[in-house]
Amino acid sequence: MSRRPLSEIGPRWLAWAVLIVAGLTLMGSLAFAGWGWGSPSITAGGAAPPWSGQVGPMMGNGSGGMMGGQVWLAGDGVRVDTIAQARARATTASAASGLRPGEVMQFTNNFYVELKDASGAATTEVLVDPATGAVFTEYGPAMMWNTGNRSGSVSADQAVAIVNRWLAADAPGQTAGTAEAYPGYYTVDTSSNGTKTGMLSVNATTGAVWQHTWHGQFVAEEDA
């Protein structure tokens, strides 16, 4: 069967072909953009999942809270300017799940809150929006790496060593603190000359490192 020359193909078919190609090109561009933002650095075996654009807990049934939707507590429009106010919002948000705030850190962009269970074990991480008071699961590791169990091949000491190697290569002069264990990953505060600079997370299975780039500058902290 011989092929028809392009000049003999009707204009309607040419129009459809152009639309199909344009659509596929657009889809490819969007997919590339979605995979490019906030992807973790890989420092030890295996590739970590990329940023997905989702805001909210990994486990969900659509009802809100830790086991539900994306937001733990909707904003009420009242500004949150202090650690005490952020702790109060996180306490209200997590109470129904039997959790309570532990460490609260204030940054220029948001408040970071560690949530603990009744035994005192760190369970997940949330952010409090200072402009609205909304409480939602932290971006990155808390959404993508929280497995719900604490099995993994990377120990806390190994996580600290991985972070120190990452810092030596990507942020000379900074050092790692202790590793806080969460289900499926660790979070490690970083500092320079005794001043907090931010935090990194390490996947407990792959050893991948994910830098928390969304906080801004460190302001203050309070543990409980």
What is the rounded average pLDDT for all residues in the chain?
79
Q: Is residue 47 part of a domain?
A: no
pLDDT digits (tens, 9 = 90+) for 195-222: 999 999 999 999 999 999 999 999 999 9
> CA-CA distance, 166 to 45, in Å (whole number)?
14
pLDDT of residue 188: 98
Q: Is residue 31 part of a domain?
A: no
> CA-CA distance, 113 to 135, in Å (whole number)?
9
pLDDT of residue 90: 98
Q: Is residue 163 part of a domain?
A: yes
pLDDT of residue 34: 32
Print the domain residue range for 80: 71-222
Q: Is residue 8 part of a domain?
A: no
Average pLDDT over residues 4-24: 49
- 112 or 7, which is more confident: 112
pLDDT digits (tens, 9 = 90+) for 99-156: 999 999 999 999 999 999 999 999 999 999 999 999 999 999 999 999 999 999 999 9
Structural domain count, the chain: 1
Question: The tokens of 77 are what?
Answer: 């429009």
Q: Is residue 182 part of a domain?
A: yes
Q: Is residue 42 part of a domain?
A: no
Average pLDDT over residues 177-193: 97
> CA-CA distance, 205 to 154, in Å (whole number)?
6
- 180 or 66, which is more confident: 180
Residue 17 amino acid letter: A
pLDDT of residue 70: 72
Q: Is residue 154 part of a domain?
A: yes
Q: Is residue 23 part of a domain?
A: no
pLDDT of residue 224: 86
pLDDT of residue 64: 32
Computed on alpha carbons and rounded to an integer, the radius of gyration of the chain in Å comes to 22
DSSP notation for 77-97: S----SHHHHHHHHHHHHGGG
Nearest in space to 180 (alpha carbons), one of 118, 106, 103, 127: 103
pLDDT of residue 58: 33
pLDDT of residue 44: 39
Average pLDDT over residues 31-37: 31
